Amino acid sequence: MIGKVPPNSKEAEKSVLWSILIDNDAMVKIAGFIDATDFYDTANSLIFGIMLDLFKKWKNIDLVTVKQILEDKKKIDNIWWVEYLVDLTNSIYTSSNIFQYAQIVKDKSVLRKLIKVWSEILNYWFEEESEINNLLEKSEQSLFWVTQNFIQNKLFHIRDIASDRYNEFSEISQNPEYYESLKVKTWYKSLDRLLGGLKPGDMVILAARPSMWKTALALNIAEHVWANKKNVAVFSLEMSKEQLTDRIICSSMWIDGKKLNKWELDEDDFIKMWDALEKLSKINIYIDDSCSWSLLEIKSKARRLKMESWLDFVVIDYLQLISNGWSWWNSFNRVQEMSDISRWIKSLARELWVPILALSQLSRAVESRTNKEPVLSDLRESWSIEQDADVVLMIYREDYYNPELARSDIPWKTEIFIRKNRNGPIGTITLNFERKYMKFIEIDTQHGDDHGWGNPWS
């Protein structure tokens, strides 16, 4: 063994670094799988450590950002570093294979650790003065160290978890305003009172039958979020970006939607619209109306937005239109596919550390019942949506099932059932829907009318 080079693959190490430099999303596939200590080459280890640090801070990873940190660390005091980085970007690998490259790096790292451990064990065994039980104990501990570091998901003792939670709650109590600002408020006081706001990492389901104004309510909530200087991303497959923008303009500036759709705007309407455009230009809302979605596409776009412009809230309209990309499997088991999508969205909410409001259709089973108020079992195509969600909201309108009651010139009472709230109470709130403005207004149940809040922009 003396004189032999430890197992390594500089080619695989450089392939990992190159993949990340040309494709920020490549890091998503390997973060948590390998770290800087898995790299044999010192330069590669240093560069990957910088990349991983940028990734954890939601910053872009490219030649410029890595070079800047090397300079700040006084590690780029000669032209060699610059040439090495440029050489990485001129390679001919493909970033789609990054996990295979990382697997090679990880395997070589484990082999080096095993060699190191076995060398130590051999030294123990030559210590004849030691008791055999002590030698066996040392050998077992050394091997356990390798296996424990190879396994990604470790078991944590409750004392360590409790200690961390104590420190977190202590910090929250000392900075209550900051931690309160991390929550996303819906604008509807009765809903926020029950939910405590939408918390980072929450998967919130808003479900209803078609034409129950799910999208309108989601946009109303999002409107308040971006009006409070938070960044919002809306992924919509059902409506175009132009239709969504029209709804936002109607709702935020109280412009009659019918007049907008028929191109019958008067001078006052154009003044309102100009005011809306001026305000919308100063806030951060991003809309994606791609014709087809895959899980990877949404995740990639959301992660890129988080890194480039930050992100506080995500709306997905709606779950049943998403594909997991396995077309050959979809036609055989749609329920399993929806289960995968549901778990994936919950995972994305935790990774991005933002609440995700995902819209969902309800099954037709509700139509066949005498009592048509929706319940959790009505969630369409998958029981796992109910299981994975932190909050499930369901919309119910009496006029939907009794069309003779419906009138377009009056606000309509709409009940929002909180059917699940993982960390709080369930209940029902009542909203009025101003149909021509596509806007939900909260009803003051004590005084019999809506709150006089008007516009969240004001």
**DSSP string of 158-201?**
HHHHHHHHHHHHHHHHHSHHHHHHTSB--S-HHHHHHH-SBPTT
Q: Where are the alpha helices (DSSP H) in 282-322?
A: 295-309
Structure confidence by residue, pLDDT tens digits, 21-64: 887 778 877 877 788 888 998 888 988 988 888 887 777 888 88
- Known catalytic residue at 238: yes
Specify the CATH number for the domain of residue 74: 1.10.860.10
pLDDT at site 315: 92
pLDDT at site 225: 85
Q: Is pLDDT at 282 greater than 70 in this prediction?
A: yes
The percent of residues in the chain predicted with pLDDT above 90, rounded, is: 7
Helix/strand/coil for 40: coil
Largest CA distance in the chain: 98
Q: Kindly state whether residues 120 and 221 are assigned to the same domain.
A: no
Residue 171 lies in a domain: no
- Please state the pTM of the whole predicted model: 0.66
Structure confidence by residue, pLDDT tens digits, 414-423: 889 999 998 8
Q: Which residue type does 6 have? A: P
Residue 458 lies in a domain: no
What's the structural domain count of the chain? 2
Q: Kindly state whether residues 344 and 417 are assigned to the same domain.
A: yes
Q: Kindly state whether residues 114 and 183 are assigned to the same domain.
A: no
Structure confidence by residue, pLDDT tens digits, 437-452: 788 888 754 444 444 4
pLDDT at site 314: 92
Strand order across the beta sheet in which 356-361 lies = 285-288, 232-236, 313-317, 356-361, 203-208, 391-396, 412-421, 427-434, 439-444, 449-450
Residue 92 pLDDT class (50, 70, 90 cuts): low
Between residues 131 and 283, the one the model is more confident about: 283
Structure confidence by residue, pLDDT tens digits, 187-207: 888 898 898 888 888 999 999
Q: Kindly state whether residues 243 and 289 are assigned to the same domain.
A: yes
Q: Kindly state whether residues 258 and 361 are assigned to the same domain.
A: yes
**DSSP string of 429-453?**
EEEEEEGGGTEEEEEETTTTEE-TT
Rg value, the chain, Cα: 28
Asked if 32 and 99 count as a contact pair (C-beta separation under 8 A), the reply is no
Catalytic residue among 83, 238, 278, 434, which? 238
Between residues 230 and 134, the one the model is more confident about: 230
Place of tokens 């009794």: 402
Q: Kindly state whether residues 315 and 443 are assigned to the same domain.
A: yes
Taking the CA atoms of 285, 214, 288 and 197 in sequence, report the sign of the dihedral they define: positive
User: Cis before residue 318, ω within 30 degrees of 0?
Assistant: yes
Helices (H) and strands (E) in the chain, counts: 19, 10
Q: Kindly state whether residues 115 and 202 are assigned to the same domain.
A: no
Report the pLDDT averaged over residues 76-105.
73
Range of the domain at 195: 178-450
Residue 35 lies in a domain: yes
Residue 173 lies in a domain: no
Residue 341 pLDDT class (50, 70, 90 cuts): confident
Q: Is pLDDT at 453 greater than 80 in this prediction?
A: no
